[in-house]
Amino acid sequence: MSVSDLDVVENTILAPYTTFQLGGPCKGLLFCQSPKDLEYTIKQLAADNERFILIGGGSNLVISDQGVDCYVVRYATQNPLIECSGNKITVAASVSLDVLAEFATEKGLAGLTCLSGIPGTVGGAVVGNAGAFGKQIGDVIETVEVITPQGQLKTLSKEDCGFSYRDSRLKETKDIVMAITVSLAATEVAQSVAQRPEILALRREKHPDLMEHPCAGSFFRNIEPTSSAEKRQAAGWFLDQAGGKELSHGGAKIFEKHANIIVKGDACTAQDVYELHVKMAYLVKKKFDLDLVREVRFVGSFSGEIGKQDIIW
């Protein structure tokens, strides 16, 4: 068996598979929905020594206008591949994070409702330790089923993953998340269900509708606590104070309601987004002497200091 035996869509434009709606072609696109699909595909790619990157919902990345000279595995599904036993939920990493949040909420299990409305898949959320309202998915992880780029299966504990603010050790190891098990606390179903629409409403107030304003969400991580602030400070506040909302580059613009979000305008390119994010970081450095850390990943070739990203194997 080899890559030639897989169902590959060759020379596919990647823009439709990212929330930014940007990105050039790849060598070939492979679709996986279940952990078994993913395991089979990764093992075939590894057997042929083929380079590839993996994307989920495409919500936290900007793909180069030139695309990527490798295969792309898209691990995402509309099917609710979720099982619940008591206060534990096992879910395929290809499932939408919001679908998982809704499922847990309706089961009366606390710990994931805060993640309601965040775009992307469970796998991407785990790798980036997605969170909101002071909580993050790493808080409730029990085990993570992964496959290495070489095709080896492993079960990781919460500690193995090395979760930290919007980060995990998985970015370094390049282990690919196949499925996770979370351990949640029981709560009143009515209380849990009532919280979800409130959280969704809050997100709608500050975050763009992806259909109207394609984007990759918050671009920079919030600022680590200082002696004068016991909690992280919003990167958007610093950007706003530094005049970031007035910035633009080509077709890339700042969202009018959130200084930390770049949105796609007319004739926007991935390179425009890159140039605009450099301007944003420069403004904050100049005014506050703070170095903003990107939350969004750039993939492929860009003009500037970025270079190749570590998610290309």
Catalytic: which of 74, 166, 196, 221?
166
- Residue 166 among the catalytic residues: yes
Active-site option among 59, 94, 168, 218: 218
Q: How many CB atoms lie within 10 A of CB 197?
A: 10
Which residues, including other chains, have CB under 8 Å from residue 207's CB and lie 6 or more apart?
117, 217, 257, 258, 261
User: Nearest 5°: phi and psi at 22?
Assistant: -130, 155
Are the beta carbons of 32 and 73 closer than 8 angstroms? yes
SS3 state at 220: strand
Residue 65: CB atoms within 10 Å: 18
Does the active-site annotation cover 192?
no
Burial 267-300 (b: 16+ CB within 10 A, else e): ebbbbbbbbbbeebbebbeeeeebebeebbbbbb
Structure tokens belonging to residue 89: 């939920």
Q: Which of 102, 168, 295, 301 is catalytic?
A: 295
Contacts of 30 (CB under 8 A, 6+ apart): 6, 7, 8, 9, 41, 71, 72, 73, 74
Q: Quick check: is 51 catalytic?
A: no
Provide the CB-side half-sphere exposure for 198 (13 A, CA): 9
Q: Which residues pair with 121 in a beta bridge?
A: 96
How far, in Å, CA of 152 to CA of 84, rounded?
A: 26
Catalytic sites, residue numbers: 166, 218, 295
